[in-house]
Amino acid sequence: EFTISIDSGDDVVGYVNGLLWLHNFNYSIKYMVLCNPSIRKCLLIPPSPASHLGRTDVGFGYDLLSHDYKAVVIVHIGSDEYNFQFLSRTLVEVYSLKMGSWSSIGTDLVSGEWYLGKSVYANGAVHWMAVRYRGEIFSGSKLHDFSHVMSFDLGTQAFSYRELPRSDVNEAYGRPLKLPLSIHGSLAVLYLSWRYICIWVMEENGWTQEYMMESPCGFYDYLSNSSYNVADRINNAVFCEKSNELVIAADKEGIISYNIKAKDYKIRHYSVTYVGKYVENLLWKELLPQP
């Protein structure tokens, strides 16, 4: 157990190789924190220089080329949490833990028409669930009707897009919830509806359906038993390869774990912000800028 004092608006950006990256995002980023729970160390990171200009999307991961931990911030200039400006300009900034500083890599590298959802790190890149709107009026669940994955390679600092797999079985039972995962180091996507659970893994030549199963009785109903959109109640999900368990962090609804082999699920009733697969990391000074 590792206790961190947090403020209202604090959220987990990502957990990579035993390092946890948090940020405070009340209207604009006030601060960021890098934590190593294994050795109980934290480092306060200043917000990116342009993060006060609008709504931000943030990712955290490991650059396989430079062997450096990095955070990326996409600033939607003039847009905020309650005023989505899809024709706004964007600015991308990257923080290097090794250098201890932010750098701007360019403007309008990402179209303001893209709305980004949850992110996950896999194989040297940060991946966001994404949907593109061209001047449409939208609200509620339509925000989460994701059609693509947008990826940012931390080494080449280039963006790429890939269309999400089409799951006719899932969509026949209503629009599925879509969440990004990492399985064996590769990007994967969870499709969850009241009838089926599907997990797709992204490979070089396209998507491969890794798992397809019926949702256990009461599983999806528990998640959707609220006046809130089910997507707004789920913070993230992880897949534990050793135990064949899908674990979902559902905010105040607790942690829901589903064992694919045993085909049963368990609910742990306590508020949780984020779940991750624990990795021991005893490094700290070696990761930081050297004087």
Give Cα separations from 183 to 93, 136, 224, 263 (angstroms): 28, 34, 25, 19
| pLDDT value of residue 227 | 46
Positions in the chain short of pLDDT 70: 1-9, 25-28, 80-87, 134-144, 169-174, 224-232, 252, 291
Helix (H) or strand (E) holding 127: strand 125-132
Percent of the chain as helix, strand, coil, to the nearest 5: 10, 50, 45
**pLDDT single digits (tens) 186-206:** 999 999 888 888 999 999 889
Q: Give the single-character DSSP code of 142.
A: G
Alpha-helical runs (H) found in the chain: 168-171, 219-224, 230-233
The three-state DSSP-derived secondary structure of 180-216 is EEEECCEEEEEEECCCEEEEEEEECCEEEEEEEEECC
18 near 280, Cβ under 8 Å? yes
User: Strands 68-77 and 196-203: what pairing?
Assistant: unpaired
**What pLDDT does residue 7 have?**
61
